[in-house]
Chains A and B, each alone.
Chain A
């Protein structure tokens, strides 16, 4: 002990201050190599000392989790800055954004960075979610981390929705009117929930202050708790899932390598590149700002934010009870239970489970790409159960009937694919997942680009 530690009084003032903060840094002179050691010990407090070499492959993570972390940090930094200027009351909110953009040095840039980081974060987290699913990284011992991930996904989504209202322009006001209008259709609690979220029956001052509180306090607090939890679970699982070829033995593990510099350098490169991309985007593209919110005039078309375009599209085809409640709730239940099915084979670490899994996923994607647009177009121009069977209530003709058709299609697909490929349940569950994800993406694309005035189906260049 005595020999090991350097006597503090033989050090310069700077070193003594350093020592007082991080006594550990000076304990073993051999390990210490200038200021680098200080950095190293700091880093090793929250990164593992060594990692499996194979988990470093870019094609395992695609850097997506790390990118999400970087974006959240950027959102916190720019969000805190915006908070100094932004005023969350209807009479001042829009004006404070204008003031920020016109009179504050870099004000527009800060707003742009926040805007683009928020939107891109949602995309990145979605891709991270896909990579985790398709590498089978949700199996034990990572089951619960999948659940934590889903909770963070919801947090990021809520953050985006609540942030959307804050500029208080026409875009914000009407998009949030529509989103909260959807709540009314939830059976039983709908009206109550809508009032709770809006702080009254209309969108107004109460809504803005509620959204502001959720956006700048509640969700950031949730993320600050969930993110370390998420990373701790990755550590507890012994690091990332080890990628392997389909026919490789699951127990084979490669060498470990020290994280410094192998892991840290890679993380830094991804972070720097991402920051560069965001900065360029923020310099070139301004965050949109319409006219000031006017409760008396709805613009045409009024669309939900892009991440709700899929749900909005569903709403055009299904009774609201189905589009807003039954289908989303079933999807959520399915997502939560994904890690807890009884799987027949051990596929963790294999992209798309197996060779057969890859083929089946491709078939599922193809089927979804063909049949979703056909369904949308047919429902728009041909199918009209309500008119064909006027005796039925809307819940049956617009809800149960079309839902039954879709369900029958999915069951037929499942049965055919299972028969053709004699698949394990890992592979069949995966192919159903692909079917839903691709269909959802197509619905979203349709909602964003193929819906014009009055929500009629049209080409993007027609409106």
Chain B
């Protein structure tokens, strides 16, 4: 509504901006700043929360049990922690995420065939989490394990991504003295 007169005025005196055109620019500038602020607030508001309050986090460190409970070459499901505890043939432990790396289905452990077989698109993983059948692009995520006094604890706060199994990822109980 106001723009028409200002436009004609601006044309008349392009070199020296009038007071009105100065204020127009000021208003537009302030308006843009306000818009940017609103957008920033909206984004900050919608951004997924970072980790929760520190007190709650201890819930996510799961005590799996004593070392002897798990026989070598076996896989045990932990439903609450959403992971599988795998004990390899050599006695080492791996905590594997139960989420298929393809598109996120939950993997069941097939006892007889000794593999994780995804019901969704047919990916399969071995006991170390390595891919045996595509389409999954990488090995299962793992969680850090600590073994204190022969008790196994799994920290499920943050899954660790990996492309394939390597021996360094395995946690071994201390050798008997």
Contact = CB atoms under 8 A, between A and B. Distances in A.
Interface of A: 174, 177-178, 180-182, 184, 195-196, 198-200, 206, 295-302, 315-316, 320, 386, 394, 453-456
Contacts of A299: 119
Counting chain A CB atoms within 10 Å of each CB, the highest count among B48, B98, B103 belongs to B103
5 pairs of A and B residues whose beta carbons are closest in the complex: A300-B119, A181-B103, A181-B104, A454-B122, A298-B105
Interface in B37-73: 46-49
A298 B79 CA distance: 14
Nearest to B118: A298
B120 interface: yes
A295 B134 contact: no
B106 A295 contact: yes
B79 A296 contact: yes
A180 B103 CA distance: 8
Contacts of B134: 386
20 contacts: A174-B105, A178-B105, A180-B104, A181-B102, A181-B103, A196-B48, A199-B48, A206-B48, A295-B82, A296-B82, A297-B106, A297-B108, A298-B118, A299-B119, A300-B119, A315-B135, A316-B121, A316-B135, A453-B119, A455-B120
A358 B105 CA distance: 45
Contacts of A386: 134
B173 interface: no
B106 A320 contact: no
Contacts of B118: 298
| Chain B interface extent, by class | 20 to 34
Contacts of A302: 105, 119-120
Nearest to B133: A454
Given A295-B106, A297-B106, 4 more contacts: A177-B104, A182-B103, A184-B104, A200-B48
Interface string B92-130: 000000100011111110000000001111100000000
DSSP class of B's interface residues: helix, strand, loop or mixed? loop
A177 B120 CA distance: 11
Given A199-B48, A296-B79, A454 B103 contact: no
A302 B79 CA distance: 21
B144 interface: no
A324 B164 CA distance: 23
Contacts of A195: 48
A199 to B, nearest CB: 5
Contacts of B91: none
A177 B122 contact: no
Contacts of A297: 106, 108
A455 B108 CA distance: 17
A454 B105 contact: no
B120 A301 contact: yes
Nearest to B123: A454
Nearest to A302: B120
B135 A298 contact: no
A178 B105 CA distance: 7
Contacts of B102: 181
Contacts of B107: 298
Contact of A456 (B122, B135, B137): B122
Contacts of B119: 298-302, 453-454
A171 to B, nearest CB: 13
A273 to B, nearest CB: 40
A51 B65 CA distance: 79
Given A302-B120, A316-B121, A456-B122, A178 B135 contact: no
A195 B46 CA distance: 11
Nearest to A195: B48
A174 B121 CA distance: 12
Contacts of B47: 196
A77 to B, nearest CB: 29
Given A199-B48, A200-B49, A178 B79 contact: no
Of B48, B134, B135, chain A has the most CB atoms within 10 Å of the CB of B48
Contact of A178 (B48, B104, B108): B104
B103 A178 contact: yes
Contacts of A184: 104
B120 A178 contact: yes
A394 B79 contact: no
A28 B15 CA distance: 56
A182 B48 CA distance: 18
A320 B137 contact: yes
A316 B103 CA distance: 12
Nearest to B47: A196
A170 to B, nearest CB: 11
A200 B52 CA distance: 11
Which of A199, A206, A454 gathers most chain B CB within 10 Å?
Answer: A454
A215 to B, nearest CB: 16
A6 B108 CA distance: 80
A196 B106 contact: no
Contact of A455 (B49, B104, B106, B122): B122
A16 B137 CA distance: 74
B98 to A, nearest CB: 8
Interface centre among B107, B120, B121 (most CB of A within 10 A): B120
B82 to A, nearest CB: 8
A177 B48 contact: no
Nearest to B79: A296
A312 B99 CA distance: 19
A99 B149 CA distance: 51
